[in-house]
Amino acid sequence: MENKWQTKQLKEEKPELSTFMDFLPNSHYLKILLAQLNRHYDPEVKIMFQKKFGWYIEIVQYGGLLCRILVHDDYFSVITPIPPFAKDYLDPMLKVMSNEFKAVYLHTINGANQIEMKVTSEAEMEDVVYLVSLQAKMLRENQIV
């Protein structure tokens, strides 16, 4: 199945953040997510390109990657690295996480070094914010000052 964002963006120059927002039908979730990340981490927001994904958003802070935001036709997804200690924090939280997160988590946590969450609801967006907070914790603790 063709991804309209990727196909369109392969032919375009580097888009502005507003171009991502204009394309997405659920851009309000992306706006909220970016506002949360800015409020908590004041990160560097980069617009990057890979042929596999097209143009995407990379969020960097504390000397490392917090997450990548990929655009799909009807939603966006967030790829977050999984710190080694994440399982200790995530297992007790499963009962309050979204069904989407539970399904993805149970299929990826063992041996995976990242998790990709589809964001189509507020609950999924909150799960992503929590995942990013774990990655930020690891980066902050390992940051060379």
φ, ψ for residue 29, nearest 5 deg: -70, -40
Query: What pLDDT score was predicted for residue 137?
Result: 94
pLDDT band at 6 (very low <50, low <70, confident <90, very high): low
40-67 pLDDT, tens digit each: 999 999 999 988 888 999 999 989 999 9
Query: Looking at this protein, which amino acid is placed at residue 93?
Result: M
Query: What pLDDT score was predicted for residue 134?
Result: 95
Domain that holds residue 106: 4-142
80-133 pLDDT, tens digit each: 999 989 989 999 999 999 999 998 988 886 677 899 999 999 999 999 999 999
Among the listed residues 35, 38, 62, 50, the one whose alpha carbon sits nearest the alpha carbon of residue 143: 62
* Bridge partners for 48 per DSSP: 56
Domain count, the chain: 1
pTM above 0.75, yes or no: yes
pLDDT at 1 over 60: no
Query: What pLDDT score was predicted for residue 53?
Result: 80
Among the listed residues 49, 38, 35, 53, the one whose alpha carbon sits nearest the alpha carbon of residue 136: 38
More confident residue, 145 or 60: 60
On whether the CB atoms of residues 32 and 52 are closer than 8 A, the answer is no
How many of the other CB atoms lie within 10 Å of CB of 99?
Answer: 10
- Rounded distance between C-alpha atoms, residue 145 and residue 46, angstroms: 22
pLDDT at 145 over 80: no
Mean pLDDT of 27-39: 94
- Please report, for the domain that includes residue 18, its CATH number: 3.90.1150
